[in-house]
Each structure stands twice: as C-alpha cells, then as structure tokens.
Structure 1
Amino acid sequence: MKSVIFTLLGKDKPGIMEAISRTVRKQDGNWLASNFAHMGGHFTGFVEVQLPEDNIQPLLNQLDAMPELNIRLVQGDTQGASQTHKAALEIMGNDKPGIVQELTSVLHKFNINILKFSSSCEPAPNWGGQLFKASVQIEFPDKFDLDPLRQALEQIANDMVVDVEWQG
C-alpha cells in the first residue's frame, strides 16, 4: 500500500466530492485525510489516500478524465517524523496589506512549520472597514523555546494593530 496525495482545482458544481470518492474507492483506496474549499466559483482541495501501488496510475487516469478538473499527484511521505509539538494562533484585526507577510516572515525567521493556514476578510460591523481573521496551526521541534517567538509575534501584532492569541 502506498500513500499518495492529489490536489484538485476546477469549476464548482454538485457531485464533485462524490465522484472523487467513488473513483478512489473503485481503485481500492482508503481515504485518509482531505481539505476542501470553495473560492470564487471554484472548488479546490487536496486529498491523501492509501492504495495498492498498481492502482496509483489507474486512479490518476480516472481523475484526469474528469471534465474541468485539474489534478496533480504526489507520493506521500511515510517516514517517521521527529518529536514535534503543535500550537494554534488566532489573528484578528482591521484588514490592511502585509498582515500575512509579516506573520509568515516571523514564523520563517524561527524556522516554524505552518501546518494549516486559513484566513478571511469580513465586514467589521462597527468600524465600517474589513476585519481580517486567520487561524494558523504551527509545528515546532521538541525543546523549542517559545518565548522569543511569542515576543516577536507580539511585536508585529502591536505594530500592525492586530490581536494574536495562542491556543495549545
């Protein structure tokens, strides 16, 4: 059995997930994980499945045959990960250019891996502007000193007038 990951992007319409899951099942695949989103009339996401090695190419061929759906396939990394820890950050504040760049720059400076990043802008009811919100799940090595990272994130939060809350 091999773990493979495929990404997909296409015009959204009802039945896409059912068609993909049916195709995976026909190739004796086991659906391990997925993440999907709808943006601008398109459906996008990625899926990790495990299936017999001989069924990988037939799966890709069947997925490629789906109209208006772009698929990419990569082999999953099954090596054991080193000891790591996870934490979540919630960011919220008035929207302005540069919030994501500043945040990711600090995380990169500390060599922090971003596992999940989800963001949105929505009307701020009392302010008349846009409210930026982001949820970020990060991974850091065992025995990592979080204090310098927290201080750096607090500094950019103050500079950009956003709130950064730690969870976990």
Structure 2
Amino acid sequence: MTLSIRPAAPADVPVIHRFVRELAAFEQAPDSVESTEAMLHEALFGARPAAEALIAERSGDQGGEDSAIGFAIFYTTFSTWTGRRGIWLDDLYITPDARGSGAGAALLKAIAGLAVDRGCARFEWWVLDWNTPAIDFYRAKGAVAQDEWTVQRVSGDALLTLAGRR
C-alpha cells in the first residue's frame, strides 16, 4: 500500500460529503450535518472558496486502484496578536479501516507544511474532550491544549517539526 496526500478536486465532493456524515456519526451527532454536496462544492471550488481540502489516498487497493481513505478541510484565519495568518483545521477524518495507517499524520504534516510555506503563525483545531485517542495523537504531534477553548495549537518549533522542516 502506498499512501498519498493530494488537493481535493471537484469530483471528490461526494466522497468528502460522505466522510463528513461518517465523522458526524462518530462524533455522536449524525443528524447535525446540514451541508449538501452542492454547498461543499461551492465552499471548496466556487468563485470565492471558503476552505480547502486534502484527500488521503492509498493505492494498491481493489485491483490496484487508488481509494480515498480520509480527508481534511481547513481555512485561513488571522490573529491580531501575531499580526499574521493561521490555518484552522475544521475536519480531519480517516475511515475506521485505515486508522493507524499514517494517513492522519500525513494530512497533519501536509497542512503544517502549507502553514509554514504561507508564513502562518499558527495551525489550530478543536477536538472533542471525550475523544482520547485523537487527543493523544495530537499531543504526540506537538499540539498544546488551549483549555479555555479546547483548541489545539501547533506553532513555532513544534510547527516546523510537524512540517518536517526540522
């Protein structure tokens, strides 16, 4: 199996939407998804994109065809305290059968690399306080809890390390 990370394309919207619904079910909120494929298409590929997405794929599955095993959706933020942009990870999801494959780490590394390349001061996200496996995974990558917000942040040396730049 070969793992790859690539920017999402318009043809990926149906699988992204399916992953969003699977993530909502995992987070015990299956009825909370209001987005449609059309909404995601507009948000990711419309005239004024609101977000970007990456797809994690593995090759060698089912007769050698590539298959999507996860995704990440993120967007630009701004901090008046740093005077610089940041990246906010809205969703990261890996299918249950692909967890432990390194896809989650590869998605985080790719986004951290984009943050470094774009001169961002921060790479942040939320995690549910009961999702101990995710919290442990993020801590192992250098994230530091912002407990008053339950926000995860990777910056400075930890961001460079996560991006593979140190």
Structure number, greater radius of gyration: 1
More strand by share: 1
Q: Which has the higher contact order (CA 8 A, sep 6+)?
A: 1
TM-score computed with the length of structure 2 as normaliser: 0.29
More helix by share: 2
